[in-house]
Structures are given as C-alpha cells and as structure tokens.
Chains A and B, each alone.
Chain A
Amino acid sequence: DQQVKQNSPSLSVQEGRISILNCDYTNSMFDYFLWYKKYPAEGPTFLISISSIKDKNEDGRFTVFLNKSAKHLSLHIVPSQPGDSAVYFCAAITTSGTYKYIFGTGTRLKVLA
C-alpha cells in the first residue's frame, strides 16, 4: 500500500521554463510534507517543506503547493536550470504519530539546455 505516489517517473523541461513535479498521498493524517533532490550515488538533499496549515511555501526558485482536499502537492521550479536535473522525491509524515517519513518513488527531471 503506497501512501505517497509520484505517478510521473520522468519529466523533461527546457532550460528557463517551469518544472512542475506532482505528488499524491492517501493518508489524511499526513501533516508535514517535504521535497528532496537526489543525484546518482548521493544521498537526498532537502529542498523545501510545507506544513498542512499552509497551502504554499516559497524558497527562491522553488515553490511547493499543497491541496489538502485533493491530497495533492506539487513542486514548481522557476526558472529551471540544467543543474536541476536529478530525481525528486516527495515525502510525508504524521507529526502526531510515529517518526516515520514516507517517500514516493521519485520523478526524474531532465532540464534541457
């Protein structure tokens, strides 16, 4: 039972355009969500997070949107750069529950120069 789903295994975007990565979840108890970026043979690097009391959080080129009613979150990267090419994972946790962070399967983003 996969509680966090990233249905697009890959995405290609032209440099300078917007990248939109999507994530769906099934557990309505999740209340803290995170995005990570991962290069091959390295550990994931934290990008941005959002609490369920918000519907948007921005940090530079990265914006995360949360739609609780749809159990959906998305990561927007504007403008996309070739260095953004990596695998992006979303993750979720129930802060009132155990300390288990649940991850999606990842989306491979390729930014074309």
Chain B
Amino acid sequence: EADIYQTPRYLVIGTGKKITLECSQTMGHDKMYWYQQDPGMELHLIHYSYGVNSTEKGDLSSESTVSRIRTEHFPLTLESARPSHTSQYLCASTRNKNSPLHFGNGTRLTVT
C-alpha cells in the first residue's frame, strides 16, 4: 500500500490569503507530482519533480509554486488565493516510468 499523505484534507480560505498544501511520502520515490482536478474533468498536471532541487511546470498554467528540498516532501504554495483556485489538489509519486502513480487523498480547497 502506498504511503503518501496530504494535509489538510479540506480547506476554506478567503481571497488573498497565502496557503501551502503539504504532501509527504515515505516510499523514497524520486518523482513527485501535483495534479488539479475539478468534477467531471481530467486530472491536470500542474507541477512535477524528478528529485531534490528539481521542479518543472506541468501542462496546466498555474499560479502556484512548489519546492523540493527533501525527497519525501513536495509542498505547493499559493501566494494569493483566488476563487478560481477552488479545486481538488492531488499529490502523487512514483519510482519509475514503468510503475503506477500512487496518490494521496487530496486537498479540497475552497476560496471564498
């Protein structure tokens, strides 16, 4: 069973606030990902990382930023939350390309 944890599970926050969504995994995976998903839509890749100090933007333009200072930790930060950021944010990791992604339980973010 995959061990990847996201906090918080749910977050309601006002416009303009800075927030950080946490993601940690205990599997020693180098590759980590952030996806954004709205109901009825595909999972959109917003950021990924090949390893420590490596981060890349995904296919969906995002105003968020990420960091990868430790292998196990891949937090996502929104400097100034807006209602358009309301979504579910999913963190995932994998060991290599011939392996499945393991997902956390997600953070449901609502910006009022």
B109 within 8 A of A: no
Q: Once the chains bind, are B102 and A46 in contact (CB under 8 Å)?
A: yes
Q: Which of A43, A45, A51 has the most CB of B within 10 A?
A: A43
Q: A89: CB under 8 A from chain B? A: yes
Stretch from A11-19, A60-68, A72-80, A94-102 that touches the partner: A94-102
A–B Cβ pairs within 8 angstroms, 27 of them: A9-B40, A32-B97, A32-B98, A43-B6, A43-B90, A43-B91, A43-B92, A43-B103, A43-B105, A43-B106, A45-B103, A46-B101, A46-B102, A49-B100, A93-B97, A95-B98, A99-B31, A99-B97, A100-B58, A100-B59, A102-B45, A103-B35, A104-B42, A105-B40, A105-B42, A106-B40, A106-B42
- Asked whether A59 is an interface residue with its Cβ less than 8 Å from the other chain, the reply is no
Min distance, Cβ A37 to any Cβ of chain B, angstroms: 11
When A and B form their complex, what is the total count of cross-chain residue pairs whose Cβ atoms lie within 8 Å?
Answer: 63
In this complex, which of A4, A41, A89, A99 has the most chain B Cβ atoms within 10 angstroms of its Cβ?
A99
Contacts of B58 in A (CB 8 A): 100
Within 57-112 of B, Cβ neighbours of A (below 8 Å) are at 58-59, 88, 90-92, 94, 97-98, 100-106, 108
Q: Which residues of B come within 8 Å of A, CB atoms?
A: 6, 9, 31, 33, 35, 40-43, 45, 48, 50, 58-59, 88, 90-92, 94, 97-98, 100-106, 108
Query: What bracket does the count of chain A residues touching chain B fall in?
Result: 20 to 34
Per the bound structure, the CA–CA distance linking A41 and B106 in Å amounts to 7
